[in-house]
Amino acid sequence: MSSAYALEFSDIAKEGELRYLASHPEPHTYRYESHVRISPESLATGMVQLSTCHYQLDPIRKVVIAFNKDRLRSVKVVKAEGIEKVEIDRHLVVLTQVQRGASICIDLDSQALDAIDEKSWRLQAGPLMRRYLDGYLPMTAHLRVHWTEGLLQIKETDPLPQPGVIVIESASGAQMNLIFAGRFKGSIVLAKK
């Protein structure tokens, strides 16, 4: 049995606005998932392996997925469905003729881990957004971080847990589940156990 959801104008975030939502007004629309792998070597170099997937893309003529050109070391498209053409142009992945429900998964190496001191690091996340005209539609993001069991622990997160932000930690990783409308940029501070 399926339920009908109607997106309200008030669900769209304006430019410069970021709202966390306790529930998604359109739960079967675009979602983002990432897996970050932090090795003991990552703590010295700042380099992490990142796998990202974009699911249930909106139908559009052209989409550009941009990565931070100063942090990106390599990028590879590992899977794409419902997209006529995919091109990699340095730090950009350009999708052409995207069909409703299309998906793409991209692997990359990124200098995403910044040392704060000898025992703590900041992992940058984002920016993430679902742009629509001059605003942002609600979206879901699942950010997963994996490390060798017992290597790290969460010291703090930005944003803090709240409705629309769930943080889960285990001995071998962490997960941040988000529902938001706007332009998200966050971080997780990790410390050696």
Closest CA to 57 of 100, 6, 106: 100
Q: How many residues can be counted in the chain?
A: 193
Residue 10 resides in a domain: no
Domain boundary among 111, 142, 163: 111
For the domain that residue 56 is a member of, what is the CATH number?
A: 2.60.40
Domain boundary among 80, 95, 111: 111
Residue 33 sits in the same domain as residue 61: no
Instruction: Quote the domain boundaries for residue 71.
Output: 47-111
pLDDT exceeds cutoff 80 at 117: yes
Domain boundary among 64, 90, 111: 111
Residue 58 sits in the same domain as residue 139: no
The total of structural domains in the chain comes to 2
Residue 116 sits in the same domain as residue 191: yes
Q: Supply 103's token pair.
A: 């998906």
Give residue-wise pLDDT tens across range 145-184: 999 999 999 999 999 999 999 999 999 999 999 999 999 9
pLDDT exceeds cutoff 50 at 1: no
